[in-house]
Structure 1
């Protein structure tokens, strides 16, 4: 499980550990990974402080997983990063970083794990984004990397389906995390954000984790090639603002 030290990845890692799974927690910061697994039985987890953009990182993660647990049943690719981008000020270094983390590292991990997943008839859950399904303000580059992940997931679902390997993606919208907290602390931004969310609240990592648990389980055994929005209804909107609900006004 990559990106397991913070945010959505941490929520997913904890959810799997709580269900009794043996989990390999991968991330750049060892301290964060240990915090994520603090309440877990030592026999059921492995901490791997690795930057997934490093050469050979994917091969190392899969090899360490097989060495410790002997098999690979579920791969969760959750590592990701986001940088606001405007085309007039966009630079090559920003694009290289976005692509390396959000796309290239996922491809490398899928390539390294395909064989072990065939042996177990396992499955992959990639954490994408609703930004990979539609445009977003100042997010064209981030969205492009997530859109590529979505199409890659669908193509690999076709290629690996005959081997019994399922490949799906979860597409969250704005979710509470260390990286988003400063924006949520802006009362005006939060008000405008919630105006776009049908359920009227920001997602938590636990909201995403519950769906990942289902998609990775045998209960979802006939689901593959799916891009599943977990967004509180954000992507259901055409973009029209929510009607004003003024005192005494009939809004039915």
Structure 2
């Protein structure tokens, strides 16, 4: 519960503070959420539930904040090549393949055959924060190499 509260109410508190400070001036809030809110993962129940709540919050607030000049967008990355992701993949390799050293084989089950890079996620966020996407608000943009389209990874 502590993790859920921190995640969900942390986003809400920061969003409120930003909206209060920026009211009447243009701005963009990009909530980096995670696609387990769409593609529920039993191993990460609290995280998946928190992500689903944040997706709903982002959509609801995005629809209300534009009249104050603020756009709110959610970004749902799937797996991203980070140290944390490597640890998760090694745990899954033990559970699924019985051998931590075979973790890279798990990417064979991903439609894109690899995780996203941090730069790919950052580039998407830069675009969403730019005037090029000035009409985008109250929506969730997924960057997961096709995982959501398929419905699951493994």
Is the TM-score greater than 0.5?
Answer: yes
Q: Could you tell me how far 1:220 is from its partner in structure 2? A: 0.5
Deviations 1:15-55 (A, max 9, x none): xxxxxxxxxxxxxxxxxxxxxxxxxxxxxxxxxxxxxxxxx
Match of 2:81 among 164, 168, 176: 176
**2-side partners of 1:127 and 1:195: how far apart?**
26
Change (3 A) 1:160 1:238: closer
Correspondence for 2:15: 110
Number of aligned residue pairs? 145
**2-side partners of 1:158 and 1:143: how far apart?**
23
Correspondence for 2:95: none
More helix by share: 2
**1-side partners of 2:82 and 2:139: how far apart?**
25
Match of 1:230 among 138, 143, 151: 143
Change (3 A) 1:123 1:132: same
Contact 1:118 1:163 in 2 (8 A): yes
Contact 1:117 1:123 in 2 (8 A): no
Q: Could you tell me how far 1:188 is from its partner in structure 2? A: 2.9
Match of 2:30 among 104, 116, 125: 125
**2-side partners of 1:226 and 1:133: how far apart?**
13
Contact 1:175 1:205 in 2 (8 A): yes
Correspondence for 2:111: 198
Kindly indicate whether structure 1 or structure 2 has the higher relative contact order, using CA contacts under 8 Å at least 6 residues apart: 2
Deviations 1:169-201 (A, max 9, x none): 000011122222234453433312x13322211
**1-side partners of 2:71 and 2:133: how far apart?**
9
Correspondence for 2:102: 188
With normalisation by structure 2, the TM-score equals 0.85
Q: Secondary structure at the match of 2:24?
A: helix
Q: Could you tell me how far 1:205 is from its partner in structure 2? A: 1.0
Unaligned runs of 5+ in 2: 91-99
Correspondence for 1:97: 3
Rg larger in structure: 1
CA RMSD of the aligned region, Å? 1.8
**2-side partners of 1:175 and 1:161: how far apart?**
30
Contact 1:203 1:232 in 2 (8 A): yes
Change (3 A) 1:227 1:200: same
